[in-house]
Amino acid sequence: MIRGLLPLPIAKDLDVPEPTSCCRALGTAGAYCHSCDLLLGLEGLHVTAVDRGEDLLTVTVESTPGPVGCPACGVVAESLGRRTVRLVDAPCFTTPVVLLWRKRRYRCREDACAMVTFTEQEPDLVRPRGLLTTRAARWAITQIRREHASVQGTARQLGVRWRTVWSAIKPILAAAAEDETRFAGVSTLGVDEHVWHHVSTKAPEEGGRGPKELTGMVDLTADENGQDAPMVCQALPGRACARGVGRGLGRRSA
Ligand SMILES: [Zn+2]
Ligand SMILES: [Zn+2]
């Protein structure tokens, strides 16, 4: 050893015969990488490739192969290979993410069955014919509800158009608006009036942004640490005082 230089700490590791990459599955037919799957975090799907472009992370995924029964008759189906479906997922490491889902296709072997061919469905991954994953849609809603993000702002972060985000989150928001349990546990309710845009009042589907004035009902119930965690429970078109809601109050215990 040359005096004054420390021994190389990695010298011992160089003798290790095992590959040091996380992707030990590479080159092993039928194997997947547990670490990459864990990083992806989508139940039942495995990473088969990752590509990082300048402004986009592309992750190719597939489900585990195995016998699949026809959804109509239950007879074990014949594989017809796969078709790649492009989905937009939630951003990762500050980068928009695209999933290339190698969706499996099948043919029913039962001649009398009306279900000639069918494709794999992952209802937890994406709604039928959706462009955004369910995870991306819920991420966008959280950004809008908790972080004061706009639909346009979330669309920019996802790398998609405004309309793509809106069509993905609208059915989820509509279902949530029907769910009265969102008021469960609310002990402090805030009323907040907003003029939230100065553009067209046409409906979003017609290119506008709807009513200019909105009244937000905000859950101001303190969390277990005594901190406010404001979250919008409901947004009503128009101003609160015009509707007789929470007149003159910014905050009131329910
Ligand atoms: Zn890996
Ligand atoms: Zn069948």
Q: Which of 59, 60, 61 is nearest to 43 (CA)?
A: 61
pLDDT, position 200: 83
Ligand (nearest to CA of 22): 1
pLDDT over 90 at 174, yes or no: no
C-alpha 116 to ligand 2 mean position (Å): 7
Q: What is the pLDDT averaged over residues 123-138?
A: 92
Ligand (nearest to CA of 69): 2
C-alpha 119 to ligand 2 mean position (Å): 12
pTM: 0.68
How confident is residue 219, by pLDDT bands cut at 50, 70 and 90?
confident
C-alpha 77 to ligand 2 mean position (Å): 8
Q: What is the pLDDT averaged over residues 112-125?
A: 92
Q: What is the pLDDT averaged over residues 173-187?
A: 79
pLDDT, position 217: 78
C-alpha 80 to ligand 1 mean position (Å): 28
C-alpha 117 to ligand 2 mean position (Å): 8
Q: What is the pLDDT averaged over residues 186-198?
A: 79
Q: Which helix (H) or strand (E) holds 96?
A: strand 95-107
> 61 versus 4: which is more confidently predicted?
61
C-alpha 131 to ligand 2 mean position (Å): 28
**Whole-number Cα distances in Å, 80 to 68, 113, 117, 119, 125:** 12, 17, 9, 9, 21
What is the Cα–Cα distance from 216 to 144, expressed in whole angstroms? 13
pLDDT over 50 at 247, yes or no: no
pLDDT, position 181: 77
pLDDT over 50 at 125, yes or no: yes
What tens digit of pLDDT does each residue of 17-66 get? 555 566 755 656 568 888 899 999 999 899 999 999 989 999 999 998 88
